[in-house]
Amino acid sequence: MQPDILMIEDEPNIAEAVRFILSREGWSVDLHPDGAGGIEAILAARPRLVILDLMLPNRSGTEILQDLRAADDADLAATPVLMLTARGQTGDDGARADAVLAKPFDNQELRATVRRMLA
Amino acid sequence: MPARAATVLTGTRIRERRLAMARRQADIARAVGISPAYLNLIEHNRRPVGADLIARLAEVLEVPPDELAEGREEVRIAALREAAAHPVAVGTVPELDQITEFLARFPGWSGLLIAHARRGAGLERQLVDLSDRMTRDPYLLTTLHEVLSAVTSVRSTAAILVEEGEISAEWRQRFHANLHQDSQRLSLTAQALVAYLDSFEAEGQATTPQEEVEAWLAEPGVADPDPGDLTSDAARAMAADLLAGLLDDRDALSDRALTEAIPAAGTPPDPVRLAARLGQPLDLVIRRLADLRPEGFQGAGLLVCDGSGVLTLRRAAQGFALPRPGDSCALWPLYHALAVPQVALARIVVTPDGRAFRTLSFAQRRQPLGLDGPLLTEALMLILPFDGPPPDDALPIGPACRICPRADCPARREPSILVPQGGQAQRSL
The total number of residues shown for chain B amounts to 429
* DSSP code at position B22: T
Q: Among B268, B326, B323, B278, which Cα is nearest to B300's?
A: B268
d(CA B350, CA B390): 7
Structure confidence by residue, pLDDT tens digits, B48-63: 777 788 888 988 988 8
pLDDT (mean) for B108-124: 83
Q: How far is B190 from chain A (nearest CA, A)?
A: 16
Contact A11 B149 (CB under 8 A): yes
For chain A, domain boundaries:
5-118
pTM: 0.49
pLDDT at residue A22 greater than cutoff 90: yes
B160 in contact with A, Cβ within 8 Å = yes
d(CA B82, CA A70): 56
pLDDT value, residue B182: 92
pLDDT band, very low/low/confident/very high, at B425 (cuts 50, 70, 90)? very low
Q: Among B361, B351, B363, B364, which Cα is nearest to B404's?
A: B351
Q: Which of B149, B152, B164 sits opposite A24 (nearest CB)?
A: B164
Q: Which of A13, A21, A105 sits opposite B181 (nearest CB)?
A: A13
d(CA B297, CA B384): 7
CA angle B425, B428, B429 (to 5 degrees): 145
Which residues of chain A make contact with B160, given a CB cutoff of 8 A? 17, 20-21, 107
pLDDT value, residue B427: 34
Higher model confidence: residue B111 or residue B358?
B358
E-strand stretches of A1-80: 5-8, 29-32, 49-53
Higher model confidence: residue B220 or residue B12?
B12
Find out whether B284 and B249 touch, Cβ atoms under 8 Å: yes
- Chain A interface test: which of B153, B154, B170 (most A C-beta within 10 Å): B153
Q: Which of B152, B164, B174 sits opposite A103 (nearest CB)?
A: B152
E-strand stretches of A16-78: 29-32, 49-53
Which residues of chain A make contact with B144, given a CB cutoff of 8 A? 86
Q: Among B363, B249, B379, B364, which Cα is nearest to B305's?
A: B379
Q: Please name the residues in contact with B369: beta carbons below 8 A apart, sequence gap of 6 or more.
A: none
* Helix, strand, or coil (residue B361): strand
Chain A's closest residue to B177, CA to CA, is A13
Find out whether A22 and A5 touch, Cβ atoms under 8 Å: yes
For chain A, the farthest-separated pair of C-alpha atoms sits apart, in whole angstroms, at 35
Number of alpha carbons in the 13 Å side-chain half-sphere of residue B382: 28
How do beta strands B356-366 and A81-85 pair?
unpaired
Complex ipTM: 0.90
Q: Which of B144, B157, B164 sits opposite A13 (nearest CB)?
A: B157
| Helix spans in B132-224 (H) | 138-163, 169-198, 209-217
pLDDT (mean) for B352-370: 91
pLDDT band, very low/low/confident/very high, at B81 (cuts 50, 70, 90)? confident
CA distances from B233 to B188, B194, B201, B315 (A): 7, 12, 21, 20
pLDDT value, residue B50: 78
Q: How far is A7 from chain B (nearest CA, A)?
A: 15
Q: Is the peptide bond before B64 cis (omega within 30 degrees of 0)?
A: no
Find out whether B222 and B253 touch, Cβ atoms under 8 Å: no
Please enumerate residues of A whose Cβ is less than 8 A from a Cβ of B.
Answer: 11, 13-14, 16-18, 20-21, 24, 55, 86, 103-107, 110
Q: Please name the residues in contact with B257: beta carbons below 8 A apart, sequence gap of 6 or more.
A: B278
Structure confidence by residue, pLDDT tens digits, B220-254: 544 565 666 677 777 888 888 888 898 999 999 99
Mean pLDDT comparison of B33-47, B187-201, B369-383, highest-scoring range: B369-383
d(CA B200, CA B197): 5
Interface of B with A in 161-190 (CB under 8 A): 163-164, 171, 174-175, 178, 181-182
Chain B's closest residue to A25, CA to CA, is B164
- Chain B interface test: which of A14, A25, A87, A114 (most B C-beta within 10 Å): A14
Fold of A5-118: Rossmann fold (3.40.50)
Chain B's closest residue to A14, CA to CA, is B153
Q: Among A19, A79, A83, which Cα is nearest to A56's?
A: A83
Which residues of chain B make contact with A55, given a CB cutoff of 8 A? 145
* Helix, strand, or coil (residue B383): strand
pLDDT at residue B6 greater than cutoff 70: no
d(CA B370, CA A26): 44
Contact B178 A16 (CB under 8 A): yes
Q: What DSSP element (H or E) covers B357?
A: strand B356-366
How do beta strands B345-350 and B356-366 pair?
antiparallel
Which residues of chain B make contact with A21, given a CB cutoff of 8 A? 156, 160, 164
Q: Please name the residues in contact with B166: beta carbons below 8 A apart, sequence gap of 6 or more.
A: none
Find out whether B427 and B89 touch, Cβ atoms under 8 Å: yes
Of all residues in chain B, what percent carry a pLDDT higher than 70? 84
Interface of B with A in 99-158 (CB under 8 A): 144-145, 148-149, 151-157
Structure confidence by residue, pLDDT tens digits, B289-327: 999 999 889 889 999 999 999 898 888 888 887 877 778
CA angle B229, B255, B382 (to 5 degrees): 75
CB pairs under 8 A between A and B: 53
Torsion of CA B226, B232, B233, B234, to 10 degrees: -100
Find out whether B271 and B286 touch, Cβ atoms under 8 Å: yes
Which residues of chain B make contact with A110, given a CB cutoff of 8 A? 156
Put the strands of the sheet holding A5-8 in their side by side order: A29-32, A5-8, A49-53, A81-85, A99-102
Which residues of chain B make contact with A83, given a CB cutoff of 8 A? none
pLDDT at residue B90 greater than cutoff 80: no
d(CA B380, CA B362): 5
d(CA B359, CA B305): 15
**B195-231: string of b/e by CB count within 10 Å (b at 16+)?**
bbeebeeeeeebbbbbbbbbbbbeeeeeeeeebeebb
Structure confidence by residue, pLDDT tens digits, A48-103: 999 999 888 888 899 999 999 999 999 999 999 999 987 544 455 446 899 999 88
